[in-house]
């Protein structure tokens, strides 16, 4: 009975983030309420706006885990991101897994980003697969695109769109979520970062979100954020040691409770 209830929660409850909803991962972004569309030079940028990869200057590999969101291991999420900058742009690889034995989503992403006349452009090619026990599996391919434009010194504007080719999946031809996001980020004195995004998904209300980061010293950053539709508060910390980054986030949903997320990046 519990498994049946969990399957219902995953597939139909909007807060559960099933149906390829939870494609934005990373503890650093989560602590900022996922206001990450205009942020560059971060290993998790490809899951938000592939154009953000253009700012990456060195090879990077990152792993993410949310083992028991809202106290349910059935909603566990894990992800891997790899970025390799070259003279011809930055290439990225992303892997994401969500769910449990009865219901599981797996996504693989190939990314490319480059800068032309100061403007960063990026493209994702995503392979999405879903399997439901006793019902089989299905897969499809979707494309994401985005850009980041520097407006003034330390101020950037970004825009991204997911599933721009309107992919469908399964025999029922269920459409994958199509989202359009735009946002700005501002860095003050290399210590304080403000980010604000607006996300619109087809069939849902507009979701504003904002976050801030304060780097106490070069090795330690404090973060917090808030988003609406659904309402969530978040906070976290980032620690840097040599080429290693450790990020922790705690996200509080008024209806579902709190969840913890962690990610580690090696530069």
Report the pLDDT value the prediction gives residue 267, as an integer from 0 to 100: 87
Task: State which residues of the chain have pLDDT below 70.
Answer: 1-18
Report the pLDDT value the prediction gives residue 166, as an integer from 0 to 100: 95
For residues 149 and 119, is the Cβ–Cβ distance under 8 A?
A: yes
Q: Each residue of 5-31: pLDDT tens digit?
A: 444 444 444 344 447 877 889 999 999
Q: Is 73 helix (H, G, I), strand (E, B) or coil?
A: helix
Report the pLDDT value the prediction gives residue 6, as an integer from 0 to 100: 45
Which residues are CB-contacts of 261 (< 8 A; sequence separation ≥ 6)? 27, 30, 64, 65, 66, 236, 248, 249, 250, 251
Report the pLDDT value the prediction gives residue 82, as an integer from 0 to 100: 97
> pTM of the full predicted structure?
0.90
Domains of the chain: 20-266 (2.40.160.60)
Place of tokens 């996001």: 181
């Amino acid at each position: 009975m519990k498994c049946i209830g969990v399957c219902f929660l995953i597939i139909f409850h909007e807060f559960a983030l099933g149906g390829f909803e939870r494609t934005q991962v990373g503890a650093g972004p989560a602590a900022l309420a996922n206001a990450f569309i205009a942020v560059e030079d971060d290993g998790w940028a490809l899951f938000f706006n592939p154009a953000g990869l253009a700012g990456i200057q060195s090879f990077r590999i990152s792993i993410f885990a949310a083992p028991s969101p809202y106290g349910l291991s059935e909603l566990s999420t894990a992800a891997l991101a790899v970025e390799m900058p070259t003279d011809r742009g930055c290439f990225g690889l992303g892997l994401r897994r969500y769910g449990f034995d009865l219901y599981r989503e797996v996504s693989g992403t190939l990314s490319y980003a480059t800068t032309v006349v100061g403007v960063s452009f990026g493209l994702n090619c995503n392979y999405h697969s879903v399997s439901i026990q006793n019902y089989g599996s299905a897969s499809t391919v979707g494309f994401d695109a985005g850009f980041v434009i520097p407006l003034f010194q330390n101020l950037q504007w970004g825009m991204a769109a997911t599933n721009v080719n309107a992919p469908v999946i399964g025999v029922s031809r269920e459409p994958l979520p199509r989202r359009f996001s735009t946002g700005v980020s501002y860095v003050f004195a290399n210590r304080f970062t403000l980010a604000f995004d607006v996300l619109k998904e087809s069939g849902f209300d507009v979701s504003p979100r904002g976050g801030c980061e304060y780097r106490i010293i070069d090795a330690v950053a404090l973060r917090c954020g808030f988003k609406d539709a659904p309402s969530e508060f978040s906070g976290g910390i980032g620690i840097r040691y040599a080429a290693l980054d450790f990020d922790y986030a705690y996200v509080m949903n008024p209806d579902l409770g709190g969840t913890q997320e962690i990610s580690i990046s090696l530069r």
